[in-house]
Homo-oligomer: A and B are copies of this chain.
């Protein structure tokens, strides 16, 4: 990894807690619909709605709230009390205002790499929401460039590299999602460090194992410091 010049970090569940907040919201959502369907079934139906609408809404909390509302209408066949809709909006607005909880080692890693590398934050989600989280996190000062992406596939990363004027062999991506932060990165010939998080959204799950000379599996984000040595 001695040729690395730019290091990009995913944000949600790489720099700060995210998925547990979503899951907590989903749990409360399923409880509200207990009279209609078992928890697990509501959860499955919500995921179905999310997948159906992904190409229309993209990633982020606003789409998630809209999907919860659509799921209520569908699974209750429009028999639910409209009060549940109001409660769902409140749940969603709460989710948008969660505090930022940095993950262990994050600030130390950024502080140490800052100066030696161009650091980038590269994340999916709603534009304003991700900007707000970055501001709340206090991490903005470490980053040379912020990229909020509508998706993280090969063409999206190629655009990012072009924008950064960086070759794949000089680029390292760090993130918790094999699907979004590792596989497309290896495909374009760049380096990837996977820092697993205990909770992953079903949509980001990857079942097969990865063997690639440019792929590194970390136990903790602090491992990056020794990988780069």
Contacts and interface: CB of A to CB of B under 8 A. Distances in A.
Interface of A: 53, 56-58, 60, 62-63, 65-66, 69-70, 72-73, 76, 78-83, 85-86, 89, 92-93, 96-97, 126-129, 131, 145, 148-151, 163
A145 B163 CA distance: 9
Nearest to A62: B62
A72 B83 CA distance: 11
Contacts of A58: 126-129
A56 B79 CA distance: 30
Nearest to A90: B70
A72 B126 CA distance: 24
Contact of A150 (B70, B128, B145, B149): B128
Nearest to A97: B56
A63 B128 CA distance: 11
A65 B72 CA distance: 16
Contact of A82 (B82, B149, B151): B82
A165 to B, nearest CB: 11
Nearest to A88: B69
A122 B73 CA distance: 37
Nearest to A93: B56
Nearest to A124: B127
Contact of A85 (B79, B85, B128, B150): B85
Given A128-B58, A150-B127, A89 B73 contact: yes
Given A148-B127, A150-B127, A85 B73 contact: yes
Contact of A131 (B76, B129, B150): B150
Contacts of A131: 150
Contacts of A129: 58
Contact of A66 (B78, B89, B148, B151): B89
Given A69-B89, A73-B89, A127-B149, 8 more contacts: A57-B128, A58-B128, A69-B69, A70-B89, A73-B85, A76-B82, A78-B82, A127-B127
